[in-house]
Amino acid sequence: MSRTAEARDPNTSDRQLLRVAELYYEHDMTQEQIAKQLTLTRWKVGRMLRSARDRGIVRIEIVHPKARVRELEARLMTRFGLQQAFVVPASGDVDHQRREVALVAADALSDLRPEPRVVGVSWGRTMDDVSRAVAPGWARGVEVVQVNGAVAHGRHAGGAAVATELARQGRGSARLLAAPAIVEKAATRVAIEADTSVQQVLQAARDADVLLFSLGSLSVGSVLVDSGYVTAKDVARLRAMGAVGDVLGRFIDADGAEVSEDLAARTVALQLEEIRRVPISIAVASGAEKAWVARAALLSGLCTVLVADSDVVSGILALDDETSLDSEAAPTTRTNRIHSYTGDSS
């Protein structure tokens, strides 16, 4: 008899199934003990427990605090056409929440099959956590490429540290981009990218099988501000121009387009269109303030996989619902809302 047939077996009443389920799940009795008490065979008890699940009498739910939020994952994938989505429950502790998201991102990277040959990576607090979370031997002989400039400043690990650690744990090698994230003049960026060694690293990044990068909020507390690449005045100016955050140091608006030609010309990193051409691009975000930039990345095809906490994802879906309604009523409303955006953490 098939499971479907068992579930509809008229000879087994819901009351009987409920009794067996209560003894098994609430009284911790074994199937053998239940069979003896109810004068049934152990095989029959097993069938009844399956039928109880099929009929909805028993519903098994994973409630561990680290369990992923599958319903939000499904909504994200359906709405934005993602290859995969990983949503971690929000914990209320910013640092802990970021580390949990990083751990899931590390697992997502490790679980890729076939194993990637070349992985391009960015840098920052979240990416530093990812590099610390990845399991030893997550890959065999992988080449990890730094995809945006990052001379280490202040308290934060630069791109070299992130790429090197991921390569070490993946039993591979790292190709480092020996350049700042943002330079003072466009001519300086052109000169840097004219260097043969820099050209080779950027080309390797373009040819990567996978990109793994964190999303940056538009905030005076962001890593780019903390590292001295942009100032608080720059943040205010970028916000007025419609920026909602950054991808690889490139500040984008709600539609995923760069807002400042001047800043773009001074940024040493893959171009946005080059990011879109990589087969698998994994964006990582933690903290409700990342909802704006995460939605922009999703809408503009800058990522095929999103790893985020439930605060970010709930914000994405709420923004998307609100924007859809506003677009129907008044197409200019979204632009006005973008200019009023305020971020307060990174």
Q: How far apart are the first and last CA of the chain?
A: 57
Query: Which CATH code is given to the segment(s) 3-54?
Result: 1.10.10.60
Of 203, 208, 192, 109, the closest CA to residue 151 belongs to 192
Please give the structure tokens belonging to residue 10.
Answer: 């008229």
pLDDT tens string for the chain (346 positions)? 444 443 444 456 888 898 999 899 888 899 999 999 998 999 999 999 999 999 988 887 665 555 678 889 999 999 999 999 999 998 888 999 999 999 999 999 999 999 999 999 999 999 999 999 999 999 999 999 999 998 655 555 567 899 999 999 999 999 999 898 999 999 999 999 999 999 999 999 999 999 999 999 998 888 888 777 888 898 999 999 999 999 999 999 999 999 999 999 999 999 999 999 999 999 999 999 999 999 999 999 999 999 999 999 999 999 988 776 555 554 433 332 222 223 333 3
pTM of the model: 0.76
- Exposed, middle or buried, 277 (CB in 10 Å: 0-12/13-18/19+)? middle
Distance CA 338, CA 48 (A): 56
DSSP string for 207-264:
T-SEEEEEEEESSTTSHHHHTTSS-HHHHHHHHHTT--EEETTEEE-TTS-BS-HHHH
Spans of all domains in the chain: 3-54, 70-339
CATH 3.40.50.1360 fits 70-339, yes or no: yes
